[in-house]
Copies of this chain bind each other. A is one copy, B any other.
């Protein structure tokens, strides 16, 4: 299978050994555009592996810059794939996140830039997160 090879290379590029759980969790991310929360992965993976492994795998991926967290106002942190310009420990996902109010999926809008924001005197910005709520393409039909 083509995709599996891609994923394996992604892992190797990040000096991570290729294991079953890592492959499967990354597959989930590649299979869908949206973001995934810990709970989603637990469900979708078919209870194949341990809860703890999911926590640790997600943390590893964040550390390596493979995925990034998306801020939310409810208590559920979501994760999404980073584009290639994220390096270890330094995420640069300068794109907008979209949360659909109907289907409640979270999507990265890679093409939408985060606009520059004018801050008051004395404030220095290093990084901005934008989360837009609304109705997504699928649900607005």
- Give every chain B residue within 8 A of A124 (Cβ-Cβ): 134-135, 140
> A112-B117, A115-B115 known; A122 and B134 CB under 8 Å?
no
Instruction: Name the residue of chain B whose CB is nearest to the CB of A131.
Output: B129
Contact of A77 among B75, B128, B131, B136 (CB under 8 A): B75
Given A71-B73, A123-B140, 5 further pairs, Cβ under 8 A: A96-B117, A115-B115, A123-B134, A125-B132, A126-B135
CA distance A137 to B121 in the complex (A): 8
How many chain copies? 2
Q: CB-CB contacts of A45-62 with B at 8 A, as 1s and 0s? A: 000000000000000000
Does A109 make an interface contact (CB < 8 A)?
Answer: yes
Instruction: Name the distance in Å between A103's Cβ and chain B's nearest Cβ.
Output: 13
Determine whether the beta carbon of A128 is less than 8 Å from that of B123.
no
Determine whether the beta carbon of B130 is less than 8 Å from that of A134.
no
> A117-B115, A120-B111 known; A134 and B125 CB under 8 Å?
yes
Contact of A117 among B69, B125, B130 (CB under 8 A): B130
Determine whether the beta carbon of B115 is less than 8 Å from that of A140.
no
Does A4 make an interface contact (CB < 8 A)?
Answer: no
